[in-house]
Amino acid sequence: MPLTHAADMALLERWFTDTLVRYWGGKPLTREQVRWHAGGAGQETLPDGSLERSWRFIIEQSGEPVGYVQLCSDRAGEGSCDMALDPRFHRRGYGRDAIRALVTFARDELGWKRLTVDPAIDNLQAINFWQACGFKREAELPDHPDGPALLMVHLLQEKF
């Protein structure tokens, strides 16, 4: 379900300020950071002048919100993704289902050939999750703005 700022911001604030959710920077976000990261969708001009497009969604299971997922791209044919699940819904398959849908959307609707994700290098749970979803290790990013990370890639012609 597409993200609607007013209706979904309280959910995002609760999830991203939870100590069990390791997202941007590997620690809980402040409410202001949540609003900045997830507050808008559409198009944004980046500091280097390039244009970034984003797609943000609330993950639902039987009508209940269980998480958040986003795609971002500043170039044709590829982009990156991020996801966070409410800790109460971890290890139930909802994340894999959401990524399967996201990969399909990126490939079939957006025409992307490559999708990346960059979990913290020490977040083995996230790295194992992304590998189970078809992402492969590509490079270590020691100077990532949010701390050391692992660049992982999913070539979208491959089946999930």
Quick one: pLDDT at residue 58? 87
Q: What is the pLDDT of residue 133?
A: 93
Q: Is the pLDDT of residue 16 over 80?
A: no
Is the per-residue pLDDT at 126 higher than 80? Answer: yes
Q: In sequence order, what DSSP letters do the residues of 35-75 get, joined into one string? A: HHHHS--EEEE-TTS-EEEEEEEEEEETTEEEEEEEEEEEE
CA 134 to chain centre: 15
Query: 140 pLDDT band (50/70/90 cuts)?
Result: very high
Residue 55 has φ and ψ, to the nearest 5°, of: -135, 125
Contact predicate 86/56, CB 8 Å: no
Q: Which of 23-32, 34-43, 105-114, 131-140 has the lowest average pLDDT?
A: 34-43
pLDDT by residue (tens digit) across 83-101? Answer: 888 878 888 889 999 999 9
Within the chain, strands assigned E span 42-45, 51-61, 64-75, 78-85, 114-117, 136-141, 149-155
Q: Which of 41-45, 46-50, 89-93, 96-100 has the highest mean pLDDT?
A: 96-100
All structural domains of the chain: 5-155 (3.40.630.30)
